[in-house]
Amino acid sequence: MADKNEILTGLAEIVNEETGLETEEVQLEKSFTEDLDIDSISMMTIVVNAEEKFDVKIPDEEVKNLSTVGDAVDFIADAQG
Amino acid sequence: MTATLNQPIPAAASRLMGMGAARGDQIVDNEQICEWIDSSDEWIRQRTGIRTRHRAAEDVSVVDLAHQAGAEAISAAGLDGSQIDAVLVSTVTHPYATPSAAADLAHRIGATPAAAFDISAACAGYCYAIAQADALVRSGLARHVLVVGVEKLSDFIDHHERSISFLLADGAGAAVVGPSETPGISPSVIGSDGDKWGAVSMDGSLLPLRDAVAEVRRTGDPSPLTAPERTLWPTLRQDGQTVFRWAVWEMAKVAKRTLDEAGVTAEDLVAFVPHQANMRIIDEMAKQLRLPEHVHVGRDIAEAGNSSAASIPLATHRLLQEHPELSGGLSLQIGFGAGLVYGAQVVRLP
């Protein structure tokens, strides 16, 4: 279990490792595709690494609903229950 | 009194004896692709690693490509066609439901009356066929088996479609499998996941085309065949994200299991040749497998594109041409694709 700030920090580290983006750029309101320029393949790598890091399942059909960093943080927090 | 049955005398082991390749001679670059889809050379390279893809001329058939690759493999094995007693062709683009491409190929290479059949396992087809050839040789049912992975995918794409068509290529890769005193092919790991049957597939069956032709003949109205919203000739589609996730993380597990079954580690390999689906998949798989520096990774896709069942033998053939010193070393090969299906084994390179 992690709070949303911890999830954001962890997610930012994953995004940094996949794309080289600075962790500070990964903010809740940022869109993965529009603002962070993350393509669908990188997104899937981020999703799988997030599943491992936060011990949650993010189904394929859910990934398309995660348009912003905040969406992903909320989903992970809910999935952790 | 019950008579005693004969059973085939098994071979101690099997190995790859020689390989062959045929590539479509038309080189399609990303500029050409961008005349069909709204994209750019940079976008395509970044997402797929593909610079060009080889496609065959209209009048070149699947069996023509298979013949060229097969003849080279037989010659490289030091054999002639009459010594081949089984011909296995893996393909999903032979445009006849029957008869098989393999029977035609067997005849063309002078192998008649060799056993001959096709295998439909898409991008895993070559590894499925190597598994089958290994079993035929070691059981004693066949002595020399010609395996060909061949596709003419350009006949089954929609140039304007964005999910998969721009990746695809034509070509054939072949190997001869024969008996050996020492093991040259590991236990194969082959499997399927039909739950994802639609993740990579044709966008329909051929039956609506038959029905539309019948309707046109009956009514004289050509619109069932010509209406723009009716795409009656089935072409390939994929759900890229689902396939990427499955291909990398599930297939990395299969690759690791294959090494375990073979009783070797990544350190023992000289090469890793995954299906040439997308450079990003290849790179991510290599990362997941933590391959040592000395392991050469097949990256034929950059110039050749994705040729489904042909991609592993084509990439292996290229590696052996560029690095002949790899001959005799161990290569982990893994195919995965429409079905979904997968197949993998470790082979000693000829």
Cα–Cα distance, A72 to B3 (Å, whole number): 71
Nearest to B341 by CA among B45, B67, B120: B120
| Residues B150 and B125: beta-carbon distance below 8 Å | no
Q: For CA atoms B132, B123, B320, B170, give the dihedral sign.
A: positive
Look at chain A and report how many structural domains it folds into: 1
Q: Which residues contact B107 (CB under 8 A, 6 or more apart)?
A: none
| Residues B329 and B292: beta-carbon distance below 8 Å | no
- Per residue in B221-248, is it b (16+ CB within 10 Å) or e — as a string? eeebeeeeeeebebbbbbbbbbbbbbbb
> Amino acid identity of B254?
V
Closest Cα in chain B to A64: B241
**Sequential pLDDT tens for chain B (350 residues):** 789 999 888 999 999 999 999 999 999 999 999 999 999 999 899 889 999 999 999 999 999 999 999 999 999 999 999 999 999 999 999 999 999 999 999 999 999 999 999 999 999 999 999 999 999 999 999 999 999 999 999 999 998 888 899 899 999 999 999 999 999 999 999 999 999 999 999 998 999 999 999 999 999 998 888 877 667 899 999 988 888 889 988 999 999 999 999 999 999 999 999 999 999 899 989 988 999 999 999 999 999 999 999 999 999 999 999 999 999 999 999 999 999 999 999 999 99
User: Can you give the pTM of this predicted structure?
Assistant: 0.91
Q: Which of A43, A48, A60 lies nearest to residue B242, judging by beta carbons?
A: A60
Structure tokens at B56: 């065959």
Nearest to B331 by CA among B349, B344, B309, B307: B349
Closest Cα in chain B to A18: B284
Beta bridge partners of B335: B343
C-alpha distance from A61 to closest chain B C-alpha (Å): 9
Mutation site for A-interface testing, chosen from B245, B250, B278, B288 by largest number of A Cβ within 10 Å:
B245
A65 touching B, CB under 8 A?
no
Cα–Cα distance, B251 to B278 (Å, whole number): 14
Where in chain B are the domains? Answer: 13-180, 189-198+236-348
DSSP A46: H
In CATH terms, the superfamily for domain B189-198+236-348 is Thiolase/Chalcone synthase (3.40.47.10)
Nearest to B164 by CA among B81, B247, B261, B250: B247
Angle formed by the axes of helices B101-108 and B62-76, nearest 10° = 50
| Chain A partners within 8 Å of B244 (Cβ) | 40-41, 44
**Residue A54 structural domain:** 4-80
Nearest to B167 by CA among B287, B318, B314, B277: B277
Cα–Cα distance, B101 to B167 (Å, whole number): 24
| Chain A partners within 8 Å of B249 (Cβ) | 48
Inter-chain touch A40–B242, beta carbons under 8 Å: no
| Chain B partners within 8 Å of A45 (Cβ) | 248, 284
The fold for domain B13-180 equals Peroxisomal Thiolase; Chain A, domain 1 (3.40.47)
Tell me, what's the ipTM? 0.76
Q: Which residues between 260 and 319 in chain B have a beta carbon less than 8 angstroms from any beta carbon of chain A?
A: 278, 280, 284
- What CATH number is associated with residue A49? 1.10.1200.10
Mutation site for B-interface testing, chosen from A14, A60, A66 by largest number of B Cβ within 10 Å:
A60
